[in-house]
Amino acid sequence: MRIAGIVVGIAAALLASATLGAQQASQQAGGVQSVTGAAPSNVQSTSQPATQPARRTAATAATQPAPSSDAGDGAYTVARPTVIRTAPDAAPVGELRAGAGVEVVGHDRGWVRVRTEAWVPASEIVPADTAYRATLSAADLRADPDGTRGKVVQWTVQFIALQTADPLRRGLATDEPYVLARGPGRENALLYLVVPPSLLGTARALTPLDNVAVTARVRDGRSEPVGVPILDIQAIRRLQ
C-alpha cells in the first residue's frame, strides 16, 4: 500500500510538471508571434515616410524649368551716356543718355541686349524697304514707268476725294477704292493712290484739301489712258 501511494504521488507530480511546461511553452510561443507580427507594421510605418519625400523631390525637379541665359532681367536705367549698337562690337548707331530706361532681354559675352521706347518726329523716318527712293517725283514715274515700277516713295500730297475705279481707268480693278490726290509736294500732278481694306477707315476720315503723308509702292508710273501714276498705299496719315 505504501509503495502504491508513492507511485501515485510520483505520477501526479510528473503530470503537473508536464502541464506547467505546456503552459509556459504556449505563452512563449504567443510572445514570439506578437513580436514578429508587429515587426512588419513597424517597418512599413518607418519606410513609407522615407520614400514619399523622395518622390516629391523628383517630381518637383522634373517640373521646374531650367534657367535660360536669354531670360529677361527686367527694367534698368543707363548709368552714364553710352552708345548703342546692333550687335556686340558693331559700329555705333545711336546713343542713350544717362537715366534712360531700358529692359534687358538677353546676354552675350559681357554685353546685354536691351529694349527701350522712344519717340521721333514722323518726318525723320523712312521706309526700310530697299526699294525706297527718296527723290522720286511724279515726273520721274511718268518718264520711266518700267524702271520705277515697284519702287517705294514717301510723299506729301493733297487729298481731293476717295473714289471707286470704273472700267475706263486701266491699271485699276473695277470698284477698287483709290484716293484722288495732287502732288507730291509742289508738283501739280494728279495721282491715283490705291487704298487697301485695312486703311479704308483712315481714308474715309479725310476731308478735301487735307495734306497727308503717304508711303506707297509704284504700280504703274504712267497709266492709260491719260498717264496718271498709280501707287499702292502702305501707310497714310493726316498732317497737322
Instruction: List pLDDT tens digits, range 135-192.
Output: 999 999 999 999 999 999 999 999 999 999 999 888 999 999 999 999 999 999 999 9
Site of grid cell 503530470: 15
Q: Which residue has the higher pLDDT, 162 or 54?
A: 162
Strands 189-194 and 230-238: parallel
Percent of the chain with pLDDT over 90: 52
Note the pLDDT of residue 124: 81
The whole-angstrom separation of Cα 222 and Cα 115 is: 44
With 0-12 / 13-18 / 19 or more C-beta atoms within 10 angstroms meaning exposed / middle / buried, residue 144 is: middle
Q: Which residue has the higher pLDDT, 49 or 192?
A: 192
Which amino acid, residue 63? Answer: T
- Span of 16-25, 76-85, 190-199 with lowest mean pLDDT: 16-25
Site of grid cell 504521488: 9
Note the pLDDT of residue 194: 97
Is residue 36 predicted with pLDDT exceeding 50?
no
Note the pLDDT of residue 120: 84
The whole-angstrom separation of Cα 91 and Cα 93 is: 6
Task: Tell me, yes or no, if the pTM score tops 0.75.
Answer: no
pLDDT band at 75 (very low <50, low <70, confident <90, very high): confident
Is residue 54 predicted with pLDDT exceeding 50?
no
What residues does 217 pair with on adjacent strands? 152, 232
What residues does 191 pair with on adjacent strands? 181
